[in-house]
Amino acid sequence: MQQGIFRKKICFLSSLACIILLVIYFFLSRQKINPVVIFIFISINILIVFSLLRFFSDKDSLLASRIENIKERINLVNVEIKKSRELGASLKFKITRYDNLKKFIEDLNRSLRLEVVVHVLASTVYNLISNMKGIALFYLLDNHTQKLNLIHSIKEDSQIVIRSKEGDIFDYWVLRHSRELIIEDLKNDFRFDLDTVRSQQMRPILSLISSPLISHHSLLGLLRLESDKKGSFDQDDLRFLSLVSGLGAVALENSLLFQKTQDLAIHDDLTGLFTKQYFIGRLREEAKRCLRLDQRLSLMMIDIDFFKQYNDKFGHTAGDIVLKKVSFLLKDSLNQLRPLLCRFGGEEFLVMLSGLDKQRSLEVAEDLRKRIQKETILLRRQNTSVTVSIGLACLPLDTKDEDELVQKADKAMYDAKRKGRNRVCYI
């Protein structure tokens, strides 16, 4: 803009000089001065004017060049300022993200419960990396089957269905390589076949990051973030996810060990059924709930007939085999009814069935007795079988007290023993 104003001033001065020269020329012509002198005078003035114009033109070019240089420098400075601001914002974001690690560690150390540890890990990366967008998935690895199990998910859209409960092609890539995975644009990632991915998924995926949870060289599971937009994650996100996974793997291992210890405390070592103490506690809770909701609750007391004879004839190891077999038959036969099973002591078992009336419970007990009687057990290369005596009592029909319910089921079971065993009796 200043350059244009400067040029207008030069044009104005040039025009003014020409007008002055013309005025002088006419004035000298009237004075009858020698034309040669006039010509020389005019020529000198013209040279002076053109010299001034040339001078100011050079000044104009120099000024224009300086202005361009200044503008270029300003642009460079603006670019640097923009980069500095972006870098500052990025650093501030990273500082904020890593500052949250302190709270993350505190939350992890607050509880040893598996569900708490899993929730803290998944929600931390979902909030700090995904900014609560897309999907977060948490898988645990089953050491026996070497399969992944989806135990927790966070979804931006609650309508999205996660079909891959045991993991997909991306999860097993992480499992196979035991290292992090980043996909910035699935359409341009040569490692995975797009048609295979589409056939396995109902939801669109264009970018994701995933990290294994490894503690003491043991892979426990994996943590994954995904988005339906490309370029949602970068290497900084992957590094942070890896850091969180490393810290979380230790807490997860402690949680799994704690859960295993708890399971051992409430389960019988031999049969895997609940212990008497745990069962009675659950029975009291369930009895109160059923009474409050006016629902039925049935209790079976089961005893293996002539169990001592198996121990005397085949040895105590054979007795353990019989107990394991009967325990398996209880779980397998009653699985659809979702019972609570307990090894009450020795060769006695307790079965709690919620929501079944007395008539239906009697039918279930009779079917169970027949199933156990038909089952063949191999003891010291001999095929044998066992029978059971079952006593049944129902709440609130027979009693409204849970302790008395156990006593009545026990009494009914002894009635079955007295009447010849291998039968179902009830109060």
The residues that are catalytic are 347
What is the C-alpha separation between 139 and 265, in angstroms, rounded? 26
The Cβ of residue 326 has, within 10 Å, a number of other Cβ atoms equal to: 23
Least Cα distance to 342 among 298, 302, 371 occurs for 302
At 84, the amino acid letter reads S
At 349, the amino acid letter reads F
The full 3-state SS of the chain, as one line of letters, equals CHHHHHHHHHHHHHHHHHHHHHHHHHHHHHCCCCHHHHHHHHHHHHHHHHHHHHHHHHHHHHHHHHHHHHHHHHHHHHHHHHHHHHHHHHHHHHHHHHHHHHHHHHHHHCCCCHHHHHHHHHHHHHHHCCCCCCEEEEEEEECCCCEEEEEEEEECCCCCCCCCCCCCHHHHHHHHHCCCEEECCHHHCCCCCHHHHHHHCCCCCCEEEEEEEEECCEEEEEEEEEECCCCCCCHHHHHHHHHHHHHHHHHHHHHHHHHHHHHHHHECCCCCCECHHHHHHHHHHHHHHHHHHCCCEEEEEEEECCHHHHHHHHCHHHHHHHHHHHHHHHHHHCHHHCCEEEEEECCEEEEEEECCCHHHHHHHHHHHHHHHHHCCEEECCEEECCCEEEEEEEECCCCCCHHHHHHHHHHHHHHHHHCCCCCEEEC
Find out whether 177 and 191 touch, Cβ atoms under 8 Å: no
